[in-house]
Amino acid sequence: MKTAEKLASGWLLVLGFMFLTISAASIIERKNADKTVYSPIGEGEVIFDNSVPPVDSTAIGGLVFGLPTATLGGWLALSLYRQGKNEKKALQQQSEERLQSIFYQTIEKNNGRVTLLGFAMQSQLPAAEARDYLDRKAKEFNANFRINEEGAISYHFDI
């Protein structure tokens, strides 16, 4: 559905700008056509009229069809952008809530002790992201750090 909306938005914008371009070209052509060319022949003057069929209807038609079409396409594109932004925000919030739930379960299960490897395995995060998350939570909750003989860091939260 989203692909169809993107295509519709694109086509409406292209079609609207095409109509507006036709309207602008018609106005420019009308301006240039108002000039008459005089060419002397023999005794008198012959006037060549370079006017074209009425351009006003083309200009008005281009505006009548172009403005609503371009406006609708722009409105649809803007709403798709906002919808995508809201979906991305919802996914980030859902991910944050999932991580927080795993974090609290791990703390409760291990009496306040969390290791980087254990949290990374449970949350299925890469080690760097798991470390960043645990560091943020450690600052937030004033946790203690302990480093064992192998250099592994464990976080100790007071429950």
pLDDT in tens, 50-100: 555 555 788 888 889 999 999 999 999 999 999 999 999 999 999 999 999
Q: Is 136 helix (H, G, I), strand (E, B) or coil?
A: helix
Q: Apex CA 120: angle with CA 105 and CA 94, to 5°? A: 60
Residue 151 and residue 119 share a domain: yes
Q: Is 127 helix (H, G, I), strand (E, B) or coil?
A: helix
Mean of per-residue pLDDT scores for the chain: 84
Q: Could you list the residue range(s) of the whole structural domain that residue 142 is in?
A: 110-159
Count the Cβ atoms, other than its own, within 10 Å of residue 117.
Answer: 13
Residue 53 and residue 22 share a domain: yes
The pLDDT of residue 145: 82
The pLDDT of residue 42: 54
Question: Which secondary structure element, helix H or strand E, spans residue 159, and what is its range?
Answer: none
The pLDDT of residue 21: 93
Residue 86 and residue 116 share a domain: no
Residue 49 and residue 10 share a domain: yes
| Pairwise CA distance, residues 143 & 152, whole Å | 16
Ramachandran category for residue 41: left, alpha or beta (phi over 0 → left; psi -120 to 50 → alpha): beta
Tell whether 101 is covered by a domain: no
Of 81 and 33, which is predicted with more confidence? 81
Beta bridge partners of 44: 41
Q: Which two tokens stand for residue 9?
A: 């938005």
- Considering 58, 90, 122, which residue would you say is the last residue of a domain? 90
Tell whether 102 is covered by a domain: no
Residue 114 and residue 78 share a domain: no
Tell whether 95 is covered by a domain: no
Tell whether 34 is covered by a domain: yes
Residue 146 and residue 84 share a domain: no
Helix (H), strand (E), coil (C) string for 45-82: EEEECCCCCCCHHHHHHHHHHHHHHHHHHHHHHHHHHH
